[in-house]
A = this chain, B = another copy of it.
């Protein structure tokens, strides 16, 4: 992963994780991810380090038109292949740039643009060109004859461009030949809520002798414990023993044995019951509404289940809820959270109402998930930055919703 903006933390790398998941589906285990800045020497030494222990290298980024975009050039040198102008490719890039420039009201500097295009059309000898999905082409660059080392797939940095180009990269002859030898690599995920990591460690230690062939990792995230195993299909029975052991020790806490997230379980729970949900939130400023609607992600059956949300960050906002808000006054408390959940149900005509409120600075947050005949409430002490606090609240709301829908 190249780019000073990623190395210095201004931009989060989305390509490494995305590629890792694509590779896993193809049976390829990812060895390392290295992030380097826009310094040719650093990219060169990273390629040398990675080339020693891997069968395939992939780069992302550094294919743009500016002077700090050097990836193609460095990869060509490392692979021992001189670059040549591909004038047909140059024409195709020019056509793309011309089309794009219309959006910006025409080209301001045609010579500069032509120079940038020519730079992007320089192709290492013997490399396969991957057609641009933005303006930059990608490459598959095998090592030159007489040298040894893995081929390098060169992909653009913008995640959308990289993702659109990926099928062509996988389809390149050289990459196909490599992948033909990859075995199936299974991955299964278990999720628990309300278990400390040390207790889970005890369970795993107890059955350790029966888990041969599994690479098991555990991870504490958003208040959930995630257990992921990766294995060859031959180790399937070991995986079954792992699931049995975890279920035996934590029957109520194991909420997902097939990798389904709490969001997915909530969504399916709403669909199964034919229920709808609505939110009235202050502390989380739209975060819960955004999470609920985001998880439905456009699917008809799901999005109809989330009726809406009202984000109240001031007294004035309460006015928008005429007639449903007589009780919505006073300091944050479990009672206020319940009144908000009730108002959400009434205002939107929803089956499940969610109320979230907090005392100043998010020190204590009160949550209520209300159905026709049940309430699940929780008060949380969350210190730290608003953003961090919000990240802790979301999962608790989702689990209360899940419990409300499964009647536990």
Contacts and interface: CB of A to CB of B under 8 A. Distances in A.
A10 interface: yes
Contact of A24 (B5, B8, B187, B290): B8
A204 B290 contact: no
What copy number does this chain have within its complex? 2
A32 B46 contact: yes
Interface string A283-295: 0011111111110
B12 A17 contact: yes
Given A67-B204, A308-B313, A313-B307, A21 B9 contact: yes
B289 A11 contact: no
Contact of A349 (B53, B319, B390): B319
A287 B290 contact: yes
Contact of A293 (B42, B196, B311): B311
A388 interface: yes
A65 B226 contact: no
A11 B219 contact: yes
B32 A198 contact: no
A12 B12 contact: yes
Contacts of A46: 32
18 contacts: A4-B228, A9-B17, A10-B219, A32-B42, A38-B217, A100-B196, A112-B202, A285-B290, A290-B311, A293-B313, A304-B314, A306-B314, A308-B311, A308-B313, A308-B314, A310-B320, A316-B348, A320-B324
Given A32-B36, A33-B34, A135-B198, 12 more contacts: A4-B215, A5-B217, A8-B24, A37-B217, A108-B202, A112-B198, A112-B205, A158-B220, A160-B384, A307-B317, A316-B348, A317-B348
